[in-house]
Structure 1
């Protein structure tokens, strides 16, 4: 039987390198009842990423078709690649009353806020800019110029923290994950 009302969507956003993916991976392990939306991207998979798990990896042409067909709730370009959230699976989970999490960048979070004003937006913040720089460099997946661009963008994103309903500082992965789940469960009874 469907719930009396759909669950509220929780959106997790924050600067690149803050640990969104790590928090979400921990959440998937420890709190499997929370459904995590899988975004589409045109970027190539990083080592260990699997199609349909971390992302749906698509071509630029496939992504453009999804946009044309209105199949994405939000979409954005970031660091030369496109990202977007498939609309249908998200709507199905929310209608079924399942706690639902969407991990996206600031531009996408703003689009979600416009189209779904009841969405609960959570900003994942680094303990400091120095720590964020260390994390980005420590990935070893991008050249120095890309890291510099991500840090410039991070400064802009950090200034948007006030647009969010809650802020979680990622200084400890376990604590940050538990705090995020507490926020999800508070808005998705």
Structure 2
């Protein structure tokens, strides 16, 4: 397997970030216009920037994908994907379906698209456990059906719902040696 980037894709609260952490690969640091939370470090947790900076990057075509959540912009720079394409080492990232498609276009088979699936009820329960209110849950799950349908474009789909997150973690851990990431 000659994979440079593992892309996690799936509905909100399906377990993408949890499984990304289980895989244990360096992650591509994404951008946000929100202020750092306590303990967050610029360049480690996110690249923190003013909204105007991210909007300029978008206009200049320097962003792979962007989205707005709770009044803040989030996105992935094309430069981070291009660095991976140039041999910047094996990395991972969480992307929406359109970002995953662009990563595949840029990297071809060197991008492994790993879909993460959970039922709507499981995603809702996880969002509730995180302290989200009904409006936030509705907003986060508004695209659930489209996100699930988009998993068809993934190379591998793991099911993390209904108590299956531990099993999904075992599957992701089993990928490490195949990707050349060790045990």
Q: TM above 0.5, one fold?
A: yes
Pairwise TM-score range, normalised by the shorter structure: 0.7 to 0.9
Give yes or no for contact 2:9–2:151 (8 Å, CA) kept in 1: no
Please report how far the alpha carbon of residue 180 of structure 1 lies from its aligned counterpart in structure 2 after TM superposition.
2.5
Counterpart selection for 2:17 from 11, 21, 37? 21
Segments of 4+ in structure 1 off by > 6 A? none
Query: Relative to structure 1, is the Cα distance of residues 152 and 69 closer, same or farther in structure 2, using a 3 angstrom cutoff?
Result: closer
Counterpart selection for 1:148 from 138, 141, 145? 138
Give yes or no for contact 1:7–1:98 (8 Å, CA) kept in 2: no
The TM-score with structure 2 as length reference comes to 0.78
Structural RMSD (CA)? 2.9
Report the equivalent of 1:133: 124
Residues in 1 aligned to 2:89 and 2:44: alpha-carbon distance in whole angstroms: 18
Please report how far the alpha carbon of residue 129 of structure 1 lies from its aligned counterpart in structure 2 after TM superposition.
1.8
Unaligned runs of 5+ in 2: none
Report the equivalent of 2:57: 66
Report the equivalent of 1:31: none
Residues in 2 aligned to 1:107 and 1:136: alpha-carbon distance in whole angstroms: 23
Give yes or no for contact 1:13–1:109 (8 Å, CA) kept in 2: yes
Query: Relative to structure 1, is the Cα distance of residues 181 and 71 closer, same or farther in structure 2, using a 3 angstrom cutoff?
Result: farther
Counterpart selection for 1:40 from 23, 28, 31? 31
Report the equivalent of 2:73: 82
